[in-house]
């Protein structure tokens, strides 16, 4: 019998001063048996950084044709495609062809640097791609906030984020590796 997903519930209050977005989201996150707690919390952080009433989790690890998160228009057009980790260049190009905006969030420390050095030149002309790196120490701190029933607040201001729980506060300073010329924020 295959192992089942572990379910996490999160009440996430987002105060995004940069985008003037303020809302509380009741989220259910299914942790795939092969997914680490670190990756799960990066998914939650990605949601907070891009929070919107239409942003939703994709099937991610279990489906190659869906991102980790996405936002669709009311007509079904993919407005935003958010991928975690180190997808290959072909996968990123395919996503750029399907969505208005593509965001890749890497988080694996030194291996993210190696991955980016390998594919950066091939993606240099992508006009809709944003690539963000979350430092490995920050990812470890985020994992410390994980709980099966979480109540979190996220404050975003000047490109920096703070994720707060009753346990701790984690400051997140994403490194922007690539930003579309018309866009400078998350």
Asked if residue 45 is part of any domain, the answer here is: yes
Asked if residue 20 is part of any domain, the answer here is: yes
Asked if residue 1 is part of any domain, the answer here is: no
Asked if residue 95 is part of any domain, the answer here is: yes
Asked if residue 91 is part of any domain, the answer here is: yes
Q: Which of 17-21, 30-34, 171-175 has the lowest mean pLDDT?
A: 30-34
118: three-class secondary structure by DSSP:
helix
CATH number at residue 92: 3.10.640.10
Beta strands in the chain (DSSP E): 6-16, 21-31, 55-57, 69-72, 78-84, 101-106, 129-133, 149-157, 160-164, 169-172, 175-178
Closest C-alpha among 133, 168, 118 to residue 46: 133
Confidence label for 183 from pLDDT (cuts 50, 70 and 90): low
Structure tokens at 170: 């984690």
Asked if residue 9 is part of any domain, the answer here is: no
Confidence label for 184 from pLDDT (cuts 50, 70 and 90): very low
Confidence label for 109 from pLDDT (cuts 50, 70 and 90): confident
Asked if residue 27 is part of any domain, the answer here is: yes
- Burial class of residue 186 (count of CB atoms within 10 Å of its CB; 0-12, 13-18, 19+): buried
Confidence label for 3 from pLDDT (cuts 50, 70 and 90): confident
How many separate domains does the chain show? 1
- Mean pLDDT of the 92-97 span: 95
Domain interval for residue 174: 15-178
Asked if residue 32 is part of any domain, the answer here is: yes
């Amino acid at each position: 019998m295959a192992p089942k997903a572990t379910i996490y519930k999160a009440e996430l209050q987002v105060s995004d001063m940069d985008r003037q977005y303020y809302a509380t989201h009741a989220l259910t996150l299914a942790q795939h048996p092969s997914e680490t707690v670190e990756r799960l919390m990066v998914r939650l952080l990605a949601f907070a950084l891009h929070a919107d009433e239409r942003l939703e989790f994709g099937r991610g690890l279990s489906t190659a044709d869906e991102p980790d998160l996405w936002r669709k228009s009311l007509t079904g057009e993919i407005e935003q495609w958010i991928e975690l980790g180190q997808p290959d260049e072909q996968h990123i190009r395919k996503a750029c062809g399907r969505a208005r905006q593509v965001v890749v969030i890497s988080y694996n420390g030194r291996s993210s640097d190696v991955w980016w050095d390998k594919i950066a030149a091939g993606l240099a002309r992508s006009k809709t791609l944003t690539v963000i790196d979350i430092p490995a120490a920050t990812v470890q701190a985020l994992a410390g906030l994980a709980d099966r029933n979480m109540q979190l607040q996220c404050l975003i201001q000047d490109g920096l984020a703070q994720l707060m729980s009753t346990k701790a506060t984690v400051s997140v300073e994403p490194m922007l590796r690539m930003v579309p010329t018309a866009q400078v924020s998350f």
